[in-house]
Amino acid sequence: MAEATQRPDPGAEGATEIRWHARGGQGAKTASTFLAESAVDAGFHAQGFPEYGPERMGAPIRAFNRVSKHPIRRNTAVTEPDIVIVLDDTLLETVDIAEGAGVDTVYVVNADVTTDRARAESLRKAVGDARCYVLDANAIAVDEIGRPIPNTPMVGAMLRVTGVLPLDTVIEAMSDKLSKKLPPKVVAGNVTAMRRAFEEVTQL
């Protein structure tokens, strides 16, 4: 059960700190990068960085963002996230997604809680009293993109829940980044997935 912590650091004033939990290959690094890029496009200051270890497809990884109106000077890890995004709910069994979270931390989790009540319960247990939002991003991704890569719909959901950046700005940055690697049809699918997630995310 997560222990709520106060956030005494005035230096972080104005900076929203985000932590991503995912498995290698689910697009967390790409998402944290285009989130940083969109923040800059929207006129903010931002950082986006993954945590580097022995990466392999499927291994648990973390990525981070800071978004702020003010220049960001600190070059240190995010330890007290304001927003926690979980791209893979199987991580609940191996990773403490609530580590460093405070009373106001918001969670956005990729999970199918409608058909899987046990999952809903373990999720509530993991986050305690914190505000938690869920979305079956895998299902949306399979529908719109053809593969269960949940990063883009999860970004959509996070933007709806936190309002940290305007959706359209992020969609533009995301399309720009993805079209360097993916064909237009797939990029368009990602856009649709993001918009759907924006509408469909619900509170736990």
Partner 1 sequence: MKRDSSRVALTGNEAGALAMKQVRPDVVAGYPITPQTELMQQFAKYVADGDVATDLVLVESEHSAMSAVIGASATGVRAMTATSANGLALMWEMLYIAAGYRLPISTMLVSRSLGGPINIHCDHSDAMGMRDTGWIMLFAETAQEAYDNGIMATRIAEHDSVRTPVMTVQDGFITSHTTQVLSVLTDDQVTRFVGVYRPERSLSNFEQPMTYGSIVLPDYYMDIKRQQADAMVNAPRFIDQVSEEYAELSGRRYDPIELYRMDDAQVALVVLGSAAGTAKDAIDIMRERGVAVGLLKVRMFRPFPHVEVAEALSRTRAICVMDRSLAMGAPMGALAQDVATSLVTGRRVPPMYNAVYGLGGRDITIEDFQGVIEEAAEVAVTGAPKAAVRYVGLRGNEE
* Interface residue list for partner 1 (CB under 8 A): 9-11, 32-33, 36-37, 39-41, 45-50, 52, 72-77, 79
**Measured distance CA(141)–CA(189) in Å, rounded:** 8
Distance of closest approach, residue 37 Cβ to partner 1, in angstroms: 4
The pair of structure tokens assigned to 182 is 């993916």
Neighbouring-strand partners of residue 110: 135
Q: Report yes or no: 71 and 45 within 8 Å, Cβ to Cβ.
A: yes
**Measured distance CA(62)–CA(85) in Å, rounded:** 10
Distance of closest approach, residue 156 Cβ to partner 1, in angstroms: 20
Nearer to partner 1, 6 or 76 (CB): 76
Q: Report yes or no: 69 and 14 within 8 Å, Cβ to Cβ.
A: yes
Distance of closest approach, residue 179 Cβ to partner 1, in angstroms: 16
Nearer to partner 1, 138 or 151 (CB): 151
Neighbouring-strand partners of residue 20: 63, 85
Distance of closest approach, residue 126 Cβ to partner 1, in angstroms: 24
Overall residue count recorded for the chain in this entry? 204
Distance of closest approach, residue 98 Cβ to partner 1, in angstroms: 19
Nearer to partner 1, 46 or 130 (CB): 46
Nearer to partner 1, 52 or 118 (CB): 52
**Measured distance CA(201)–CA(63) in Å, rounded:** 22
Nearer to partner 1, 54 or 185 (CB): 54
CA distances from 125 to 6, 76, 98, 118, 129 (A): 20, 29, 10, 11, 9
